[in-house]
Amino acid sequence: MIEIKNISKRFNTADGIVEALNNVSLSIADGDIFGIIGMSGAGKSTLVRCINMLERPDSGTIEIDGCDIGKLSERKLRTVRRDITMIFQGFNLLMQRNCLKNVCFPLELSGVKKSEAKKKALELLDIVGLRDKAKAYPAQLSGGQQQRVAIARALATNPKVLLCDEATSALDPTTTNSILELIRNINEKLGITVVIITHQMSVVESICKNVAILDGGEVVEQGTVSEVFTHPKSKAAQNLVFPEMESGSAIINKAGDRIIRIVFNGASATETPLIARMAVQKGIEANIAYASTKSINGKVYGSMLLGITGDKEVVKSAIDYLTRTSDVMAQEVENYG
Amino acid sequence: MGNDIFSSEALFEAWQIIKTQFPLAIWETIYVTILATVFAILIGLPLGILLVAGEKDGILPLPSWLLQILNVIINLLRSVPFLILMILVFPLTRLIVGTVVGTTASIVPLVIAAFPFVARLAESSIREINPNIIEMAQSTGASPMQIIIKVMIPESVPSLISNATIAFTTILGYSAMSGIIGGGGLGKIAINYGYYRYKYLIMILAVILLIVIVQIFQSIGTYLATKTDKRLKRK
C-alpha cells in the first residue's frame, strides 16, 4: 500500500519558482496497476520520483506499507529502493555490460553471490523472453528488447512495487502493447503493484485499473479508469478524452446525440470499415465526430468519437456490436462540452 | 651547412651515436613517460571523478569551498609553463628522489604538470555518462561508492582510454623538454647534439623517433578504446 499524503515540491529555476507538485494525495492499493496521466510539465515525473525519494518532497509524507520513507536515513532508503524498482523511458541500461550482467547489477549491489545472481538473472531473462540474448550488449538490441531487459533488472530484487516512468513512450504501438502485456503478466503472476506514469491515454486504457489525472501539479481527478474516462469532469480529463477540444475546433455533433468513444488498440483492419458495417448490419447510423487513427502493419491504433442519435438501448447495442471485434473498446462518454 | 648534414663524416658520426645512445634514450623516454602517466592517472582520475561527483547535484556533494579549492589548484598548475614548473618543483623533487637531475628525477615535475591535465580529461570522460544511468543506479539502491566503481568508471572506459592516450602523448612531449634539466631520453639527445652542438641529423632522427613512438601509442590507444566500447557492437 502506497499512501501519498499532501506532498508538495517546488523547484527554483532560472524562470523563478516552479510549483511541480501541489498538495498531492493518492493511495495506491497492493496489486493495483495505477496510472498517473498528464501532459508534459504536469508533475508526473516528479511525483513518481517522490515515491522512491529520488526527489524529496518539500512537505507531505509518503508511506509504503505504513513506513514513512521520508524519515529514513540514506542507507535505509537504499534498502527500501530494492523493494520499489523503476523502469524508464530511455531504458537506462549499462551500455558496457551485456544483458545478463545488467540484470545482475541490482543483485551485485545487494551483495548476492555471483553464481546465485547469474542463476536468478537467467530466470528473469527467461520471464521476459530474452534468455538467448544473455550475452548480447544493449546496443545490439531493439528498444523493445532493451526495455524487457530493464524490466528483468527491475524484478531482480523481488520488488513489491514497480514504477514505470513513461516506459513505453519511446516505443512503437506494437512493441508498446507487448511491453504492457508483459507488465500485466508480472502484475498478475507476481502480485507486484505497478505505478504507470504516462501521457498516453491508450496506455492507461489498455492496462490500468485506477487512474489519477495530474494537471499543473495537482490531482484533478481520480478513480477507476472506466469511471474517469466515461465521465470526465475536469478540463484536463476532457482534454484527454476529447483531444480536439484543446485545439479549439469544436466536435461536429448534433444536439441531443449521444457520444461513444471507441479505442482501437491493435485491432485488425478489415476491408469494410467497422462503422460502415455497423450501419449496414445493425442499422445504427453514426456520425464520426472525431477520429485519430493510424494503421501500422495492418493493425489499427487510435481513438474515435461517434455521435449516435437514439436512446440508451441504441447506444448499448452499438457498443455491443463494436466491442465484438477484438482489441476494440467502446464506452459512452458524458460531459463533452 | 645544408650539404654538411649528409656528408660522409656526419653520417658516420650519426651512426655511431645512434648505435651507442639511441637504445637507452628510447628506453628512457618510454620508461619516464609510462611511469609519469601512471602516477598522473593515479592522482588525476580520482580527482576528476571527485570534480563531477562532488558537485552540488552530484552523487557525493562536497562543500563548495573544497570544490573551489580543487578547481583553483588544477587551473593554477595548468597555467604554469612546464619549463618553469620543472624548476619550481626542485625542492619537492629533491625530497622524493634525492636529486633534481637525471631521468628518474624528471618524473616528479612531469607528474605534477600532468595530473591536473589528467583530472580535467577524466572529468570530461565522466561527464559524458548519461545522467539517467546515474539516476537508474540510485533508484536501484546503489551507494555513491558503488555508483563510482560499478557505473561511472566502467561506463566511461572507452573514453578514459582515449583520454589516457592523449595524456600519454602530451607527457611524452613534456618529457622531451625535461632534457633541458638533465632528464634523459630522446629529448636530451635532440637538445645536446642538435641544439648545443649543431648536429642536426641527430636532432632530426630523435624527433622522427619521438613521432614514431607517438604514432605507435596513439594507435594502440585508439584500438583499445574502440575494442572495449560495447556500444559499437552492432547486430
Sheet of strand A2-13, all strands in order from the earlier edge strand to the far edge: A16-28, A2-13, A59-64, A67-68
What's the confidence (pLDDT) of residue A32?
96
What's the confidence (pLDDT) of residue B228?
94
**How far is the C-alpha of A254 from the C-alpha of A308, rounded, in Å?**
9
What's the confidence (pLDDT) of residue A265?
78
What CATH architecture is B2-234?
Answer: Orthogonal Bundle (1.10)
Give the DSSP H or E segment for A136.
none
Strands (E), chain B: none
The DSSP symbol for B61 reads: P
Nearest to A96 among B140, B155, B234 (CB): B155
**How far is the C-alpha of B184 from the C-alpha of A32, rounded, in Å?**
73
Task: Sort out which chain B residues have CB atoms less than 8 A from A88's CB and list them.
Answer: 132, 135-136
What's the confidence (pLDDT) of residue A147?
97
Sheet of strand A328-333, all strands in order from the earlier edge strand to the far edge: A286-296, A299-308, A258-268, A328-333
Nearest to B230 among A52, A54, A139 (CB): A139
Looking at chain A, which residue has its C-alpha nearest residue B153?
A96
Which of A92, A93, A140, A166 is most worth mutating to test chain B (most B CB atoms within 10 A of its CB)?
A92
**What is the pLDDT averaged over residues A265-294?**
81
Q: What is the dihedral of CA A45, A49, A55, A57, to 10 degrees?
A: 90
Give one word for A93, left, alpha or beta, with left for phi > 0 and alpha for psi -120 to 50: beta
Which of A105, A132, A158 is most worth mutating to test chain B (most B CB atoms within 10 A of its CB)?
A105
| B233 in reach of chain A (CB within 8 A) | yes
Average pLDDT over chain B reads 91
Ordered alpha helix ranges (H), chain A: 44-51, 74-80, 99-109, 114-127, 143-155, 173-190, 201-207, 225-230, 235-241, 243-247, 274-282, 312-323
Which of A41-45, A137-141, A169-173, B98-102 tops mean pLDDT? A137-141
What's the confidence (pLDDT) of residue A262?
86
Q: Kindly state the cell numbers that stand for B55.
A: 558537485
Query: In angstroms, what CA-CA distances link B225 with A192, B155, B157, B235?
Result: 41, 12, 8, 19
Which has more confidence, B108 or A231? B108
Q: Reply yes or no on whether the pLDDT at A127 is more than 70.
A: yes
Average pLDDT over chain A reads 89
- What does DSSP say about strands A2-13 and A299-308: parallel, antiparallel, or unpaired? unpaired
Domain ranges for chain B, please list them: 2-234
| Closest-CA distance of chain B to residue A142, Å | 10
Question: In chain A, which residues touch B (CB < 8 A)?
Answer: 52, 54, 75, 77-82, 85-86, 88, 90, 92, 94-98, 105-106, 108-110, 137-140, 153, 157, 163
Looking at chain A, which residue has its C-alpha nearest residue B143?
A78
Q: Reply yes or no on whether the pLDDT at A297 is more than 80.
A: no
Span A301-317, pLDDT tens digits: 778 888 888 888 888 88
Q: Is A126 helix (H, G, I), strand (E, B) or coil?
A: helix
Helix, strand and coil in chain B, % to nearest 5:
85, 0, 15
**What is the pLDDT averaged over residues B98-116?**
92
Which has more confidence, A297 or A164? A164
Sheet of strand A84-88, all strands in order from the earlier edge strand to the far edge: A84-88, A161-165, A193-198, A33-37, A210-215, A218-224
DSSP character string of A258-314: EEEEEEEEEEEP-SS-HHHHHHHHH---EEEEEEEEEEETTEEEEEEEEEE-S-HHH
Task: Sort out which chain A residues have CB atoms less than 8 A from B130's CB and list them.
Answer: 90, 92
pLDDT band at A20 (very low <50, low <70, confident <90, very high): very high
Span B120-170, pLDDT tens digits: 999 999 999 999 999 999 999 999 999 999 999 999 999 999 999 999 999
Q: Reply yes or no on whether the pLDDT at A336 is more than 70.
A: no
Nearest to A95 among B141, B142, B231 (CB): B231
| B3 in reach of chain A (CB within 8 A) | no
What's the confidence (pLDDT) of residue A77?
95
**What is the pLDDT averaged over residues A78-98?**
96
The DSSP symbol for A64 reads: E
Span A190-200, pLDDT tens digits: 999 999 999 98
